[in-house]
Amino acid sequence: MNILAIVGSLRQDSYNRAVLRAVEELAPDGVKISEHPLGDIPLYNFDVEQQGFPEPVAAFKAAIADADALLIITPEYQHGIPGVLKNALDWAARPARESPLKGKPVAVMGASPGMTGTARAQSQLRQTLVYNGCPILPPPEVLVAGVHDKVEDGVVTDEPTREFIGGALERLATWLDGDPSRPA
Ligand SMILES: Cc1cc2nc3c(=O)[nH]c(=O)nc-3n(C[C@H](O)[C@H](O)[C@H](O)COP(=O)(O)O)c2cc1C
């Protein structure tokens, strides 16, 4: 099972990338996680799209098409998803009739130092995914609140958080083994 991971933060010491590292460590046998970095993806512009997808966009779309599922791990910015992530999804969804997002199963996670652990960003992200016809791993949601107390030197050290992430990955694998287009 090939899962394409997307982290909505470009920050070097990103807590959300620390969550990705925990995911890589805790993934069940047979689940391969590969990150696709978003840093080279230019700002969306329809004029540019009409001249052809820039190479980083074409590579991103191809990686989505090749993956069995996506795992999006995102911070919350201003109660929504970071522009970097929304921009990447806007490119991925174009043109609508050829979008590799269509029907692609997606799992969502997020970490924030705040109390709500990206709940509002995840809600907003789910709207975009629903619009794109993506089946979404059903709850419980993976909301890592107070993440600054759960990560040390880029490693998720909080044991309950690690167990919760590991459990979500087991649920993801079981969900993908069945028919993700049906509610769990
Ligand atoms: C522009 C900006 C907006 C933010 N807005 C929120 C927010 O609405 N809710 C929240 O919980 N944290 C917010 N934060 C704090 C982020 O959760 C925090 O910076 C987090 O570490 C970012 O994720 P990262 O460590 O993966 O880069 C914001 C941070 C920035 C830079």
CA of 2 to the centre of ligand 1 (A): 29
CA of 77 to the centre of ligand 1 (A): 5
Quote the CA–CA distance of 47 and 171 in Å, as a whole number: 41
Establish whether the linkage from the previous residue to 95 is cis, with ω within 30° of 0. Answer: yes
CB distance 132 to ligand 1 below 6 Å: no
Quote the CA–CA distance of 171 and 178 in Å, as a whole number: 11
Cβ atoms of residues 14 and 85 within 8 Å: no
pLDDT score, position 181? 79
**Per residue in 22-81, pLDDT tens?**
999 999 999 999 999 999 999 999 999 999 999 999 999 999 999 999 999 999 999 999
**Per residue in 70-114, pLDDT tens?**
999 999 999 999 999 999 999 999 999 999 999 999 999 999 999
CATH of domain 2-177: 3.40.50.360
For residue 125, which of 27, 6, 2 has the smallest C-alpha distance?
Answer: 6
Residue type present at position 107: A
pLDDT score, position 179? 86
Q: Which two tokens stand for residue 77?
A: 């910015």
For residue 30, which of 175, 173, 137 has the smallest C-alpha distance?
Answer: 173
pLDDT score, position 180? 87
CB distance 75 to ligand 1 below 6 Å: yes
CB distance 80 to ligand 1 below 6 Å: no
Quote the CA–CA distance of 180 and 174 in Å, as a whole number: 9
pLDDT score, position 184? 53
**Per residue in 107-118, pLDDT tens?**
999 999 999 999
Sign of the torsion formed by the C-alpha atoms of 121, 123, 127 and 132: positive
Quote the CA–CA distance of 184 and 90 in Å, as a whole number: 28
Residue type present at position 14: S
Residue 183 has pLDDT above 80, yes or no: no
CA of 49 to the centre of ligand 1 (A): 30
